[in-house]
A and B are shown apart, each in its own frame.
Chain A
Amino acid sequence: MTIAWAEFTPWHSLAGGLLIGLAASVLLLANGKIAGISGILGNILQRSGAEPWRLAFVAGLLLSPLVLLPVLSQLQPSALVTPQFSIADLLRLLAGGFLVGLGTRMANGCTSGHGVCGLARLSPRSLAAVLTFMLAGFVTVFLWRESFGLPL
């Protein structure tokens, strides 16, 4: 293992994390809700769960690039330099997305619900989930790189 110092962006990471933590706190304090994206999306899919606060949160998430676009090239240029995918990657993106949806639904949470909110609530269940999906992610990228080269 080598550290990718050239790619490492500590200040942007800390600042971005701060904003994410603020977002989770706002939702918790003003709405009494957990900022778990997979849970919010999953509930919207069920008619009974499509409450205004969930739709509004997802709308904010979707619109945030639009709002930030004028300053984004200064704030974080790499956010705009997205990697090149080709049509050949279509199946991988679709299958990967499916696994993300199914897995987070089974586990009742993803990087935000378990990773940020769950760990902030010191939930042992969330810690177990985070360690598991991180390990699965590390192993997947390792095996993929050994077989076909880096996924991106």
Chain B
Amino acid sequence: MKSALSALGAGLLFGAGLLVSGMANPAKVIGFLDLGGHWDPSLALVMASAIAVSWLGVRFAARRTECPVEEGPANTGITRQLLGGSVLFGIGWGITGFCPGPAVAALGLGFWPAAIVVLGMVAGLWVGKPKTGAAAGPATATG
């Protein structure tokens, strides 16, 4: 119960961050991806700020032992699957302006195109699911 409450709080904070930064608006994201055109650097600052704060969280968590991080990357190598998957993700991101977090937050905003993206996304996640059924133990997907 306590773990669900903190996770709910984290989800609310995460969504608030996406909304405040404007990242739940796909036009803003496309503005960032339009590097060769009229470039809006906002997304880079969102990432930088989020990474800096998370880095502090990671440092702090590393000093505590009572709550070890259970989930970590399943595979530490830079594989063809990692790069190929990232290319596919980048293409989908580029043609819609949505990545998974903003798609869910924009769905909560009642924005219908986000519902279509989430539908496609769920199908893609399903098709690409690990073949072993029981995933790969506790250390599976992180993103």
- List residues of A whose CB falls within 8 A of some B CB: 1-4, 7-10, 12-39, 41-43, 45-46, 48-49, 52-68, 72, 75-76, 78-83, 85, 89-90, 92-121, 123-126, 128-130, 132-142, 144-145, 150-152
Contacts and interface: CB of A to CB of B under 8 A. Distances in A.
B99 A111 contact: yes
**Interface of A (DSSP majority class):** helix
Given A43-B135, A136-B90, A120 B55 contact: yes
Interface of B: 1-28, 30-31, 33-43, 45-58, 60-61, 64, 67-78, 81-101, 103-113, 116-129, 133-135, 140-143
Contacts of A126: 73
Contact of B39 (A4, A17, A32, A89): A4
B109 A140 contact: no
A138 B33 contact: yes
Contacts of B14: 19-20, 23-24, 35, 57, 60-61, 64, 112
